[in-house]
Structure 1
Amino acid sequence: MAPRSRTQNSGYDSEAAKTETQAQVKIVTFLHRLEHFTWAWFTLPMATGGMALLLTPQTQPHNFPGLDTIGKVVFIWDLFVFTAVTLCITYRFLRFRGTLVDSLTHPTESLFAATPLISLSSIIAAIARYGIPSAGDWLIITYRVLFWVYFIASFSAAVGLYFLLFTSPALKVSDMTPAWDLPIFPFMLSGTIASAGAALQPPVHGVPMIVAALTAQGLGMMMSILMYSNYIHRMIQYGFPSPQSRAGMFIAVGPPSFTCLALIGLANDFPATYRAYFGAVETTVQILKVLATTTAVFIWSLSLWFFCITVLACLAARDQMHFHLNWWALVFSNAGFTIATIGIGKMFQSPAVGWVGSAMTMLLVVTYLAVGFQHARALVRKDILWDGKDEDTYWGERDHKTEKLMERAATVEDVTARP
């Protein structure tokens, strides 16, 4: 075979250098896009962790061989996604100076600053479902330590993030969305963590976890109710949020749902042999289960109402909706709604409710895959992770149609009022 000529070598080297340069440009371009990698990306591991909890054999009313394996695969995928997102946002804060402070003081991006803790809550709870049954006593102790560390960290975040939000108020009531509730969400999910693992603890340690979790769940639910009043007032006065934020309305489904599942889980986790707070231990357990179940049914309807309102709002604006990271609220919040529904069905020993829960689970799996596809598509098309298209850009939440109608009405009133 004839040796390659110098000209051929030169052309070959030129092509190789060109290919290498193009590859470097692509890498640099993607790394530059990470300047817009916001806290809201943690909604992806939030949704994945919710699915991991939903697909546990302990949760599902109808099991089949391989369900536990599927759940473990989803849990491992959740760990990978959480790690990848954490590395990306760490790169952003280290590479682009000032972005950390900006993210915590930005009127919209700061609302999502608590999402890493929310993602951790589902990971910790999944440890109780998938890890502890396969490990020794050391993981039970570790779980207890993780709970108390999370409890303190999430309470600190709830105070600190709202303090920052109140210190430099930039949001308007017309911008109100359920995302305003996110800073208190991690502390509230202490109830979910305890309900998953308190029963595995010795009674002397399990009961303090239950009491602390009930305290956290109570504060989270009461704060959510206060936020709901502003949210409903905002919709009455200004209409639904803008189409790009409609999917985020599903966040409102979460607090009542996670409160339901936490109350039922904590009541079932109360040790059968412990102090007789309300008479005999059997009486205490029975009282707790009755109170938890009736309270869960009482507030479950609120989740159902918000779910229906949000579905109609999204359908009404379906032609104007484009993917945003808040679409993962379709999965995470509704995972809690589904688990709460299944839990109520189990407490009433209702096969019908159990089948409804199974159907909701299958629909949620399809939703997760569909939103995941839209997420990847938006990333490739630069609809997200691009200048002016992420949560680090502030935009008003009022629907443009509603805003124009209000401006027109104001103009008519002004003309009418003239002498």
Structure 2
Amino acid sequence: MSYRQPSFGETPSSSGRSSTEYNGSHLDDIEKSLPIQTIPSLRLKVLQSITRGHRGDHDKSTEPRCVEVNSKAGEPADEATRPKLGIRQRLAHFTWAWYTLTMSTGGLVLLIRSQPHQFPGLHQIGLAVFILNIVLFVLVTSALVARFCLFPGTFLRSVTHPREGFFFPTFFLSIATLITCTQRYCVPEDPEVARATSKSLMWAIQIAFWIYVALTTSVAVGQYSYVFSTHSFGLQTMMPTWILPIFPIMLSGTIASVISETQPVASGVSIAVAGLTCQGLGIAVAFMMYSHMVGRLMQSGLPNREHRTGLFMCVGPPAFTALAFLGMGRSLPESFDHDMDGLTDAATIETMGLIGAGFLWALSFWWFGIALLAVIQSPPRYFHLGWWAAVFPNTGFTLATISLGTAFRNEPILWFATAMSIVLLLTYLFVLGHHIRAVVVQDIMYPGRDEDVEDH
């Protein structure tokens, strides 16, 4: 057996491997315990320090200039000392997670339209926010297309990335809010009036729904199949973003509950049945994910403070399912009874939906309490796009509360939902303000600070 003399830049270790190999093999384990901002520079600094230690010099030109770290606390350097980057360089880090902005804004539009206590001008405010959301959607989509065109190969890397890839479905969630908002603001509520005055638009919405179902089914099956066959995640690293690939198809039920009532009877029933099936698939997969999420929390504790807002994602599936149950039950025609035996008539289905919605609302409330206490216990210090998880899922929770209050004709519940809506609006404005600031000071759209970096 021959002995290889260490080459330049290597030193032998007790295990027979070079120090470069040894340090590189353990960096992944070290990274998992560090805050999000320290990780990109950790690998660069360690590997460069190894090389410099053998060269005996210090070449400042090779210093990592993108992400700087406070050596004492592991926190990001002050933005004043951070190198300014041009828009082209920053677009390289414009990720799919930006669609959390548009889906949250779309949820806010629906919430404004569904308020139980309306006042003059509220409808116009909601319409203005709806138009703003369309503009934001176009801008976000344009920025993503620019990223993929300017940096060839980034599209495939983004959808297969072990972290950013899970945010790919937020594009479809934004589409879902656009479809439902179009129905709410552009189609009359009265089915007869809608069928008489908005035939073309209703036909377009129906086509959009079926295309949406087909595409989100492909995402739900295809993305999970890819993750199962390619990535290997430890359960101690589980995050609520693992639920996102099933979220879009689950919202097919929510869309169906909104659009089916004004569609022609035959088409409306088909949409409701498809929506119910998709909603069932979504909530079933979400329940399986919940079991792993609870196990991860029991074994490893709460996530890093910078990721705790993501726990609000767990509020969404039961809340939107409750909302879909209530909406689809109301949307069925009074004459609905497919086998004419009186057992599956519209009234019976609506009652079953109401009972199921109450059950699921309580589960959303439980997850909301867990997430809220976790964030209060250790609030995040640095903005990242995961903060929007505090808005969109809670929009579904608030909408479900409004629907339950309406179904029970309970005014205290409706006033409670109004208070929830005000708090959610303030949360939206709070996150939006920090989002804008983060763009200005380069806390996001900057190397090592976005979802295109593995940090857990």
Task: Please indicate the TM-score interval, normalised by the length of the shorter structure.
Answer: 0.7 to 0.9
Is the aligned partner of 1:119 residue 2:174? yes
Is the aligned partner of 1:51 residue 2:108? yes
Quick check: 1:107–1:170 contact (8 Å CA) kept in 2? Answer: no
Quick check: 1:34–1:92 contact (8 Å CA) kept in 2? Answer: yes
What percentage of aligned pairs have identical amino acids? 41
Is the aligned partner of 1:37 residue 2:81? no
Alignment of 1:271-350 (within 5 A): 271-277=333-339, 279-280=341-342, 284-318=345-379, 320-350=380-410
Quick check: 1:258–1:340 contact (8 Å CA) kept in 2? Answer: yes
Is the aligned partner of 1:264 residue 2:298? no
Structure 1 segments of 4+ aligned residues over 4 angstroms from their partners: none
Distance in 1 of aligned mates of 2:336 and 2:417: 33
The aligned residue for residue 10 of structure 1 is none
The aligned residue for residue 290 of structure 2 is 228
Report deviation, 1:136: 2.1
Output one character per residue of 1:251-298: Cα deviation in whole Å (capped at 9) or x when no partner.
0000000000000000000012344446349x7111011100000101
One-letter amino acid of the counterpart of residue 51, structure 1: L
Bigger helix fraction: 1
Distance in 2 of aligned mates of 1:171 and 1:110: 14
The aligned residue for residue 242 of structure 2 is 180
Distance in 2 of aligned mates of 1:179 and 1:321: 20
Match of 2:263 among 193, 201, 206: 201
Quick check: 1:118–1:185 contact (8 Å CA) kept in 2? Answer: yes
Distance in 1 of aligned mates of 2:147 and 2:176: 24
Output one character per residue of 1:229-269: Cα deviation in whole Å (capped at 9) or x when no partner.
00010011101111111111100000000000000000000
The aligned residue for residue 392 of structure 1 is 452
Report deviation, 1:115: 0.6
Quick check: 2:325–2:357 contact (8 Å CA) kept in 1? Answer: yes
Alignment of 1:125-144 (within 5 A): 125-133=180-188, 136-144=198-206
Report deviation, 1:64: 1.1
Distance in 1 of aligned mates of 2:263 and 2:321: 21
| Stretch moving more, 155-164 or 166-175 | 166-175
Distance in 2 of aligned mates of 1:292 and 1:272: 15
Output one character per residue of 1:173-206: Cα deviation in whole Å (capped at 9) or x when no partner.
1211111000010000001111111000011100
The aligned residue for residue 135 of structure 2 is 80
Output one character per residue of 1:373-395: Cα deviation in whole Å (capped at 9) or x when no partner.
00011111111111011110001
Distance in 2 of aligned mates of 1:73 and 1:278: 46
Residues matched between the structures, number: 367
One-letter amino acid of the counterpart of residue 190, structure 1: S
Extract unaligned runs of 5+ from structure 2: 1-82, 189-193
Output one character per residue of 1:83-114: Cα deviation in whole Å (capped at 9) or x when no partner.
10000011111111111111111111111011
Match of 2:310 among 239, 242, 248: 248
Distance in 2 of aligned mates of 1:286 and 1:274: 9
Is the aligned partner of 1:381 residue 2:431? no
Distance in 2 of aligned mates of 1:256 and 1:348: 19
Match of 2:233 among 157, 164, 171: 171
TM-score normalised over the length of structure 2 = 0.78
Distance in 1 of aligned mates of 2:336 and 2:325: 19
One-letter amino acid of the counterpart of residue 100, structure 2: T
